[in-house]
Chain A
């Protein structure tokens, strides 16, 4: 760097210092606290808190919700990205805005809309009761709320990447006689695999960690409609700090793994861009 585009060393050092202190207090300290509270009474108690029957059923429900929400939103994301990035049509901007809507809505409202639709006093409430279908305060409601809050993740990662790649390669494949599926699997997918993986990782982190939306539709029935984040809340409110932080540490592990994978994929994409 030339003189005149950099600060004097003392300014530089103090700016770095303030940034490091901010990161340490705001971001690192909360994670250290979770670990230290979870392990406050040793590994034995930590393990007992995690192998509690309610904690395990919460873990199962969290995995189930993510196992449905992530693939559903992957299929949607790929399909939305294909029609938006590869074709020109009217109203595209409006469609893009609609896809972003779930990000703009408060998680609590994301849950509320399903209560108003499927709850006892909701639009379909009576019909559902007569046919003995339970959605709110049951597993389907939790899955629906999870799908809603993670709706845009995959589509948003894929659309800009596929738009940038244009349609030349796909058009070449089509003129060579490839059908739609062949074009997608052999030409498009290899080009977007990292962006897709990136979207899946973010989608999964949100699906497993969602609290507000799920909390509204869950009814907090232990062993039945409790996800891991909801279980953290229940334990915390019952003053079972150790157990709450033990379960929280699991979710924190998920966040750390997400960040590591994210960093690896970003580094790969950067390298790939430098090559081209």
Chain B
């Protein structure tokens, strides 16, 4: 919505000279105090709490040597756990896109009783401790549970199978898609839809040709966020998963199991692979967000 022509040329030249003035320096000069103190403290605290512990993990894996690392990271049980984690997180994130788009659409476009409560409830998975979500989902979907009994009638076992893992990841992923799509939908100019209507498009054509392309960057960001969260999720999954090695054992649980058996090499190797995947996801998410911002500005 910003129009570059509105910028005062004087501002531009001031910014230009400001930028030029600190070229070759670490920071732009400012009359405000406190940079040294706050920057120093930020860096110190960040190093102490985050960077040193994370490098401890990488250093430990180097200490074990490449061969031990490779053997630990490619054991059949480890590979199976990665398959379960990836598969469930992907499918759950896909379902989250479907329901997330639907929820965002209904919350933004329609007015109905209970809308505000629904809107607030979307954040529940962020606020509810994962252990609480875990035990309540496990109880709900157990073969004799409130919901599990109906699935049992159809011969479907939800709790204690990979299907249960998906239910838990569906729960924790709900806010991600809704909260990334919602603001884009709120700012979407209705005149695009009106223009499409006057050109003779029907509602479905407008949705698939006008709205979906506009929502795509935000939707993909939401998908990536839900997927990344699903890969690392622990608390809400372990109660409902059944945790059978090779079948319904997720990667984070396998790390805990190895640690409890004092298998530090195994735990560290899996954790390093997992961390690399998380960093790759973080990069993808940052790129997607940059894309989404550019798409938003173009409109």
A23→B132 contact, CB < 8 A: no
B136 in contact with A33 (CB, 8 Å): yes
Q: Taking each of B43, B53, B99, B274, which has the highest tally of chain A beta carbons within 10 Å of its own beta carbon?
A: B53
For A266, the closest partner residue in chain B by CB is: B120
Q: Roughly how many angstroms separate A252 CA and B134 CA in the complex, as a whole number?
A: 12
Size category of the B interface is 35 or more
Closest-CB distance, B174 to chain A (whole angstroms): 7
- Tell me the B29-44 residues at the A interface (CB within 8 Å): 30-35, 37-39, 41-43
The CA-CA distance from A254 to B124 in the complex, in Å, is: 11
B66 within 8 Å of A by Cβ?
no
- A102-142 interface (Cβ within 8 A of B): 102, 104-109, 112-117, 121-123
B267 close to A (CB within 8 Å): yes
Q: Does A112 contact B57, Cβ atoms closer than 8 Å?
A: yes
Q: Which residue of A lies closest to B268 (CB)?
A: A116
A residues sitting closer than 8 Å to B (CB atoms) are: 1-8, 11-12, 15-16, 18-20, 22-23, 25-31, 33-34, 37, 75-76, 79-80, 82-84, 86-90, 95, 97-102, 104-109, 112-117, 121-123, 144, 147-148, 151, 167, 170-171, 174-175, 179-180, 183-184, 202, 205, 208-212, 215-216, 228-230, 232-233, 236, 241, 244-245, 248, 251-252, 254-256, 258-260, 262-263
Min distance, Cβ A107 to any Cβ of chain B, angstroms: 5
Cβ distance A117 to chain B, nearest Cβ, rounded Å: 5
Closest beta carbon of chain A to B111's beta carbon, Å: 10
Name which of B155-163, B213-221, B226-234 contacts chain A: B226-234
Answer whether residue B131 sits at the interface, using C-beta atoms and an 8 A cutoff.
yes
**Known contacts being A16-B110, A30-B133, A179-B33, is A76 close to B53, with CB within 8 Å?**
no
A119 to chain B, nearest CB (A): 8
Alpha-carbon distance A216/B163, docked complex (angstroms): 26
A157 to chain B, nearest CB (A): 13
Interface residues of B, Cβ cutoff 8 Å to A: 22, 26-28, 30-35, 37-39, 41-43, 45-46, 49-54, 56-57, 59-60, 99, 102-103, 105-107, 109-110, 112, 114, 116, 118-133, 135-137, 139-140, 146-147, 170-171, 174, 190, 193-194, 196-198, 203, 228, 231-235, 239, 251-253, 255-256, 259, 262, 264, 267-268, 271, 274-275, 278-279, 281-282, 286
